[in-house]
Chain A
Amino acid sequence: MARMKFICDSERCIECNGCVTACKAEHDIPWGVNRRRVVTLNDGEAGEKSISVACMHCSDAPCMAVCPVDCFYRTEEGVVLHDKDICIGCGYCSYACPFGAPQFPSSGTFGMRGKMDKCTFCAGGPEPNGSQAEYEKYGRNRLSEGKLPACAEMCSTKALLGGDGDVVADIFRTRVLSRGKGSEVWGWGTAYGKPTGGATTPEAKPGK
Chain B
Amino acid sequence: MKRMLLAAGLVLAVAGCGERTQSGPSHRKTDTVAWDAAQNPFVAPGWTAGDETSWQSQIRDRTASQNEYSRVSPRQ
Contacts and interface: CB of A to CB of B under 8 A. Distances in A.
Interface of A: 1-2, 70-71, 73, 75-77, 81, 83, 85-86, 123, 125-131, 140-141, 143-148, 152-153, 158, 161-164, 167-168, 170-171, 174-175, 178, 198-203, 205
B21 interface: no
A144 B38 contact: yes
B46 interface: yes
A152 B40 CA distance: 22
A161 to B, nearest CB: 5
A152 B66 contact: yes
Contact of A148 (B37, B42, B56, B63): B63
B39 A128 contact: yes
A76 B67 CA distance: 25
B38 A200 contact: no
Contacts, number: 126
Interface residues of B, number: 35
Contacts of A81: 31
A205 B62 CA distance: 27
Nearest to B56: A2
Task: Pick the 9 closest A-B CB pairs, nearest first.
Answer: A130-B38, A163-B63, A126-B29, A200-B70, A146-B44, A167-B63, A144-B38, A171-B67, A143-B34
A70 B26 contact: yes
B27 interface: yes
A200 B69 contact: yes
B66 A198 contact: no
B43 interface: yes
B32 A199 contact: no
13 contacts: A129-B36, A130-B38, A130-B39, A144-B32, A144-B34, A146-B37, A146-B47, A146-B59, A148-B66, A163-B66, A167-B60, A175-B69, A199-B69
B34 A163 contact: no
Interface string B41-74: 0111011000000011011101110111110001
A109 to B, nearest CB: 28
Nearest to A160: B66
B75 to A, nearest CB: 6
B14 interface: no
Given A148-B63, A171-B64, 8 more contacts: A75-B31, A126-B29, A130-B37, A144-B35, A144-B37, A145-B44, A146-B55, A199-B69
